[in-house]
Amino acid sequence: MPKHVAVIMDGNRRWAKNRGLPVKQGHKAGGQVLKQLATYFKNYGVKVLTVFAFSTENWFRPKEEVDSLMKLFEEGTENDVRISIMGNISSLPKSLRNRIYSVQKRSEANKGLHLVTALNYSGRYDITEATKKIAGKVKDGIFQVKDIDEALFEQHLATHGIEFPNPDLLIRTSGELRVSNFMLWQLAYTELFFVDKLFPDIDEADIVEALTAFQRRQRRYGGHKY
């Protein structure tokens, strides 16, 4: 069973548009599905669930969408879910930042599923930030130039500190066959599973299919059998 599953939650807006509903209904429906997914994955033994909410390229989201997500997190803290946010939080509105810090603090002792949400995040942003941190530490004398390698890089990515930092399985909805600037470094050996449904339409059967596909593949990392 995968230890870390990542999900690109694509299609909430189109789902609402297809039904002639306001966009916020799509996000509400997506939020309910996310809650269900967290339960499914927890039951299947997955330890970490990372979801891609907003990228640095399309961050300008309406308040309802953001509020919907924050409400979900706050409910999650009461269900033994540990909430973490990764991304450029510093550029978010102060009130939102405070809510994020509060949710993270309240849930840090939870032992259940670790739900990591990528907000205002992109893979390139992650790599660039890691570069800045490393360069700054070399400047400060903490590391030397010769220490800069892949292992050091991994220690400075947004996923450092997560028990299983690299996803074993990525599920992307809405039929798009790409990762859309999500966890570019971390997805090197991640099983990619693309679902031809909008996010609010996915159900347990799709999750089972994804998990089964993960289990069936013979997995190798750079020539070593896994």
Catalytic residues: 10
Give the DSSP per-residue string, 110-178: --S-EEEEE-SB-HHHHHHHHHHHHHHHHHTTSS-GGG-SHHHHHTTSTTTTSSS-S-SEEEE-TT--S
* 20 near another protein, judged by CB under 8 A: no
Q: Which of 24, 25, 153, 201 binds another protein (CB under 8 A)?
A: 153
Q: Which of 94, 95, 109, 223 binds another protein (CB under 8 A)?
A: 223
Contact 92, 125 (CB under 8 A): no
* 125 near another protein, judged by CB under 8 A: yes
* 212 near another protein, judged by CB under 8 A: yes
Contact 81, 109 (CB under 8 A): no
What lies within 8 Å, CB to CB, of 224 at 6+ separation is: none
Q: Which of 63, 78, 108, 208 binds another protein (CB under 8 A)?
A: 208
Identify the CA nearest to 5 among candidates 164, 191, 170: 170
* 23 near another protein, judged by CB under 8 A: no
Binding segment (CB under 8 A) for another protein, from list 75-83, 90-98, 103-111, 183-191: 183-191
Neighbour tally for 149: CB within 10 Å: 9
* 55 near another protein, judged by CB under 8 A: yes
**Rounded to an integer, what is the distance from CA 215 to the centroid of its chain?**
21
The residues binding another protein (CB under 8 A) are 1, 10, 13-14, 40, 43-45, 55, 57-58, 122-125, 127-128, 130-132, 134-136, 138-139, 145, 148-150, 152-153, 174, 176-181, 184-185, 187-193, 203-209, 211-213, 216-220, 222-223
